[in-house]
Structure 1
Amino acid sequence: MESAYTPQRFDYGDHPSQYAELWVPDARKHTAIAIIIHGGFWRQAYGAEYGRPLASDLRDRGYVVWNLEYRRTNGGDGGWPETFLDVAAGLDGLESALESSGLEPGPRVGIGHSAGGHLALWAAGRHLLPPAAPGALPETLRCLDAVISQAGVLDLALAESLALSDHAARLLMRCTPEEDPVRWQWADPADRISPGIPLLMLHGTTDEDVPVELGRSFARRAMAAGGPVDYLEFEGDHYGLITPGDKAWEMCVEGLGALEANGLGGE
């Protein structure tokens, strides 16, 4: 049975896709705030509705949730740099939304599925970007305190070389890596392999959308770089991670609880 609850909508721009939804539990049981960034290979056909079942489930568990929408490709006015600027603005708008709703801030955990995993980890490293890069933050600031990657496309260049989803990464970037290598460096979390916050990666071994080897490759590099990374595989596909009740989604919820229990430092 679908919940009758209606989240609060906060617009961070004038475009119809520039908004986020704040889901507030009847009784807040957790200090951590879950920030959901949906996937869909950055395409317009897939929107914030894919994050709502997760937001509803986490709200029922006592979490405050920020379900973020952004401009996308294929008719959604997104791509480079609009999609990145939107994710940055949507995350930066959380503080004022909490304040206006009378909610205390807390550690911010980005939960990103597929392309949303890419955007979450990119955002986590905004303080490592040069000032000229879209979405860059000063070195002293952070917009996320941890990331849970649900089969995330964390290596943008590798995704392009594998032609994932008919070269969805190239469509996002509006060029190839050879045509504008600096743009791709700014957009690719794999070029900032360890943003200095905990990263939990989950990947299904039968994932046909984002091959498990992409996750394994990134995890090996991140661990070699000394980053605080946990990598978990499970027997399953791409979509159990965003299906409440599925064992893969329960792994995400358990990971969120463990991150909070380990003492994330909110600002």
Structure 2
Amino acid sequence: MKKLIKYGNENSQYGELYLHDTNCIGTVCLFHGGFWTMPHDLHQFDNVAHELLNLGFCVWNIEYRRIGETNHKWRDVFDDATKAINELNNIKNIYNHVNINNVFVVGHSAGGHLAIWLNSQDLKIDVKKFIGLSPILDLEIAYYKNAGDGSVEKLLHGNPNEFPERYLFGSPIKLKRKNSSELIIHGNMDDYVPIKWSKLYHEKIRKFTDISHLIELEACGHMDFIDSKSNVFDVLKSNIR
């Protein structure tokens, strides 16, 4: 069973909730990639959502405001990520068999950026693990390397010299972690988001805390993470319980 649920008044502030008829073993929240831009949307994760549902999870597949939408503001995507996770409290009140005591937040690429970024935010939901699949973890590096053909500058409406505070606010590598576990899974054949960025992040975070973990996958490209029939998905399954 699938329900469309709004978590705000804007057109893109919604998600698709995949439900069981009875209790689930936990809830997986999904943030899709696409360098925060339209027309990329939550349907990238449709097959993954169905597979997670078959494993016994409820799935909250989240849409958010993206670059290219009318009156786009730089805070929109960040505000939506937080609101969407906190919406689980309201969802639980309506669908009381949704399990919010075993919550995982998973994102791919730009969605992986949001998933890991959320581990530095004050949420109203306890999250067991934040998982980034080929995530973008340093917006300043991504800007200078022109990731996504200038998507970072479009996201933050400027460059690091103009708005250093925005790059500080939005870059997981710059922020203090919460106590929840986080996992980076990255392929060594990623042509869009280099694995060395995740390695730099992991090395820095591990100097201060042991909550961060990195799995490097051989012969794995950027888009393999949204293929629910791939070996990559098996790695994800083994890390959500």
Q: TM-score range by the shorter chain?
A: over 0.9
Aligned: 1:83 with 2:77: yes
Q: Specify the code of the residue in structure 1 equivalent to 2:14.
A: Y
Matches within 5 A, 1:156-171: 156-171=139-154
Task: Among all aligned residue pairs of Structure 1 and Structure 2, give the percentage whose two residues are the same amino acid.
Answer: 25
Structure 1: stretches of 5+ with no match in the other structure: 1-5, 128-136, 258-267
RMSD (Å), alpha carbons: 1.7
Secondary structure of the corresponding residue to residue 56 of structure 1 = helix
Aligned: 1:245 with 2:229: yes
Report how far residue 74 of structure 1 moved. Answer: 2.2
Secondary structure of the corresponding residue to residue 231 of structure 1 = strand
Aligned: 1:195 with 2:188: no
Whether contact under 8 Å (1:27, 1:62) holds in the other structure is: no
Report how far residue 144 of structure 1 moved. Answer: 3.0
Change (3 A) 1:230 1:76: farther
Q: How far apart in 2 are the matches of 1:178 and 1:248?
A: 38
Residue 44 (structure 1) aligned to one of 34, 38, 46: 38
Number of aligned residues: 239
- Alignment-derived partner of residue 106 in structure 1: 101
Aligned: 1:220 with 2:183: no
- Alignment-derived partner of residue 22 in structure 1: 17
Report how far residue 214 of structure 1 moved. Answer: 0.8
Change (3 A) 1:162 1:193: farther
- Alignment-derived partner of residue 148 in structure 1: 131
Q: TM-score, normalised by structure 1?
A: 0.84
Report how far residue 77 of structure 1 moved. Answer: 4.6
- Alignment-derived partner of residue 66 in structure 2: 72
Q: Specify the code of the residue in structure 1 equivalent to 2:171.
A: D
Q: How far apart in 2 are the matches of 1:63 and 1:78?
A: 33
Whether contact under 8 Å (1:202, 1:231) holds in the other structure is: yes
Report how far residue 175 of structure 1 moved. Answer: 0.8
Change (3 A) 1:76 1:111: farther
Q: How far apart in 2 are the matches of 1:79 and 1:144?
A: 27
Report how far residue 142 of structure 1 moved. Answer: 5.2
- Alignment-derived partner of residue 117 in structure 1: 112
Report how far residue 196 of structure 1 moved. Answer: 2.1
Secondary structure of the corresponding residue to residue 112 of structure 1 = strand
Secondary structure of the corresponding residue to residue 50 of structure 2 = helix
Report how far residue 227 of structure 1 moved. Answer: 3.3
Change (3 A) 1:217 1:56: same
Whether contact under 8 Å (1:157, 1:184) holds in the other structure is: yes
Aligned: 1:204 with 2:187: yes
Change (3 A) 1:88 1:206: same
Structure 2: stretches of 5+ with no match in the other structure: none
